[in-house]
Chains A and B, each alone.
Chain A
């Protein structure tokens, strides 16, 4: 596997962090740490400081620790080690992806699957419930739904569960018809 890819790198970081979190029984603590890290990396001023060669690694680590302290989060030893590595390698662009991958692993660990439903129109509560029931029955686990509206679909909906896609939209059917008539 090519480790140059940001997505893959982030996935590996998340995987290791999650494995440590499971072993040390601090999954939720890590979740908080990563959430704050994403917020920190989105702040340009802090980012500039962290990139500046005028500050040593120790000084940068101190700054980040203080930010966490200000938010009433204590960095435990493994989190501190991760933070040291993160600052040393300057992986600021990976923070959001690491947090996302960690969240996915967390869901997978607790048997929760994310479902994204894109529909042309707002679904009624009955429709949402029916959809949730059938997907839950299919995957035999808890489903975390996310409903999005996209009028470009014209009608129908597209359902994303894990990497499976069920395209029942009018747009998709027109595309199919186009391929059929070609």
Chain B
């Protein structure tokens, strides 16, 4: 590569000409104490709440507590080099992160700085991380489905674009796996994804990024990382940063999905900051505004109408609605979802997907408890075809769970009960799905068709998964066009039923099912 010094000089000259020389006006304070990433600063009389302040060495912090004699600041960087007596400057800016298409495919920290070694990010604009959620008038009804590609979810707890659906469960129950599958399934759907890792191990985040890359899903995803090694302040702001990045797409008439993994650790980080700031502790030592911490975050996930989009884009985008769907994750301890943070987030969200350790250990994956999982707005957004074929699934599973317990005591069962039990067993098998294998609407419809039209009745329960997998492989090989047609127009009709029957019969005729 040849470097033309004249060109470089011209660019520098041009930039210097653009530079406006003005005196800098700021407030200056002095560090009077420093403990675990929280700094008390004397001075800074005119500092704003949430304003970024600059320490010596280019380290930034955020003013959180404005007290009579001092200001409490949470430090974002390495605070070990700070000491009492050092000067602190106000910046006049509230905390902002870069947003835009340039961030897609990148791994960034909570401040929006790249940490993936792929070079600097040239972002369209920089936006404040704390924003008020869109108002009532600007909202649009949630009526478009967000396909996760997971049968158990899309059939029983459907998620709509703009919905907030909580994923809750103990450790190692597959919470993250569900969200990663949902992100993978957004490939070619136009939905932009933001995965926010809060307080997680760097190795876990690294394997998630690698998997997204392998599945070709990173190009439509932004990964925001505030790992366990980062300061509590960074973990505190990470979900707001991710949300701001998602809002960029929503406000331009696009659809976005944001995953907060997880809000329990977010609450821990905020509790740590609050206690160090000497805010009064409440239940479980969380501060009084812990509910507001999550409600103001999740309220920003919404579907907005075309007028809002038009206003925000100043007429550049017309007649399009935008949405930001949120999948917050909350980890429970020993299945106790009546703890403080889980109940708070349950009450904020539009439903929850409850994952159970017992189900997971018995091989039912995803380990979704159909009885405790609910989607309050998603049914309006469910695809007609899936609604038609999977409508009775929850009832079948509920009856099966009830009879299953009863069958353990009864020695002899009547024919009707036995059939119902068998049907339930097959429904459970049909809803099983391996990880990183999201299904299209058409593939899901075929699976549901098998169970609803009694194709599996003469089959052993342990053969169901294998049969279904082979059928789908067969369809992908010989009837991909038919599957694409269903996905494009997912409406149930007698013609579709006839065609599905014909396809399944042709599969039976081949030897591939043996």
Q: Residues of A at under 8 Å CB distance from B?
A: 1-2, 4-8, 11, 160, 162-168, 172-173, 176-177, 180-181
Interchain nearest-CB distance for A150 vs B (Å): 16
Q: Quick one: given A163-B44, A177-B16, A177-B19, are A7 and B28 in contact (CB under 8 Å)?
A: no
Q: Which residues of B contact A1 (CB under 8 A)?
A: 33, 40, 67, 69-70, 278
Q: Which residues of B contact A160 (CB under 8 A)?
A: 28
**Chain B residue nearest to A159 in the complex (CB):** B23
| Contact in complex: B24, A164 (CB < 8 Å) | no
**Chain A residue nearest to B29 in the complex (CB):** A163
The 3 A-B pairs of least Cβ separation, nearest first, read A2-B33, A168-B23, A163-B43
**Chain B residue nearest to A101 in the complex (CB):** B42
Partner of A11, one of B46, B69, B84: B69
Complex Cα distance, B29 from A93, in Å, reads 21
Interface: B45 (CB within 8 A): yes
Within 8 A of A (CB), among B191-210: none
Complex Cα distance, B15 from A86, in Å, reads 59
What's the tally of chain B residues with a CB closer than 8 Å to chain A? 29
Complex Cα distance, B69 from A163, in Å, reads 13
| Contact in complex: B25, A165 (CB < 8 Å) | yes
Scan B13-44; emit 1 where CB is below 8 A from any A CB, else 0.
00110010101111111101101000010111
Q: Which residues of B contact A4 (CB under 8 A)?
A: 33
Q: Which residues of A contact B32 (CB under 8 A)?
A: 2, 5, 7-8
Q: Which residues of A contact B67 (CB under 8 A)?
A: 1
Interchain nearest-CB distance for A161 vs B (Å): 11
Q: Quick one: given A1-B69, A177-B16, are A163 and B40 in contact (CB under 8 Å)?
A: no
Interface: B12 (CB within 8 A): yes
Q: Which residues of A contact B371 (CB under 8 A)?
A: none
Query: How many A-B residue pairs lie within 8 Å, measured between CB atoms?
Result: 73
Complex Cα distance, B478 from A45, in Å, reads 100
Q: Which residues of B contact A163 (CB under 8 A)?
A: 27-29, 43-46
Interchain nearest-CB distance for B11 vs A (Å): 10
| Contact in complex: A172, B42 (CB < 8 Å) | no
Interchain nearest-CB distance for B427 vs A (Å): 60
Q: Which residues of A contact B44 (CB under 8 A)?
A: 163
Q: Quick one: given A163-B44, A166-B23, A180-B19, are A8 and B33 in contact (CB under 8 Å)?
A: yes
Complex Cα distance, B84 from A4, in Å, reads 11
Complex Cα distance, B278 from A167, in Å, reads 34
Scan B58-91; emit 1 where CB is below 8 A from any A CB, else 0.
0000000001011000000000000011000100
Quick one: which of B21, B23, B44, B70 has the most chain A CB within 10 A? Answer: B23
Q: Which residues of B contact A180 (CB under 8 A)?
A: 15, 19
| Contact in complex: A181, B15 (CB < 8 Å) | yes
Q: Which residues of B contact A166 (CB under 8 A)?
A: 23-25
Interchain nearest-CB distance for B13 vs A (Å): 11
Complex Cα distance, B25 from A164, in Å, reads 7
Interchain nearest-CB distance for A155 vs B (Å): 12
Complex Cα distance, B357 from A2, in Å, reads 45
Partner of B30, one of A2, A7, A162, A164: A7
Interchain nearest-CB distance for A154 vs B (Å): 14
Complex Cα distance, B43 from A165, in Å, reads 12
**Chain B residue nearest to A177 in the complex (CB):** B19
Q: List 28 A-B contacts (CB under 8 A).
A: A1-B40, A1-B67, A2-B33, A2-B35, A2-B40, A5-B32, A5-B84, A6-B84, A7-B30, A8-B33, A8-B40, A8-B69, A11-B69, A160-B28, A162-B45, A164-B25, A164-B28, A164-B46, A165-B26, A167-B23, A167-B24, A167-B25, A168-B24, A172-B23, A177-B16, A180-B15, A181-B15, A181-B16
Complex Cα distance, B45 from A5, in Å, reads 19
Task: Apart from A164-B27, A172-B23, A180-B15, list 19 A-B contacts with CB within 8 A.
Answer: A5-B33, A7-B42, A7-B84, A160-B28, A163-B28, A163-B43, A164-B46, A165-B25, A165-B89, A166-B24, A167-B23, A167-B26, A168-B24, A172-B24, A176-B24, A177-B16, A177-B19, A180-B19, A181-B12
**Chain A residue nearest to B28 in the complex (CB):** A165
Q: Which residues of A contact B85 (CB under 8 A)?
A: 7
**Chain B residue nearest to A8 in the complex (CB):** B32
Q: Which residues of A contact B46 (CB under 8 A)?
A: 163-164
**Chain B residue nearest to A4 in the complex (CB):** B33
Complex Cα distance, B21 from A168, in Å, reads 9
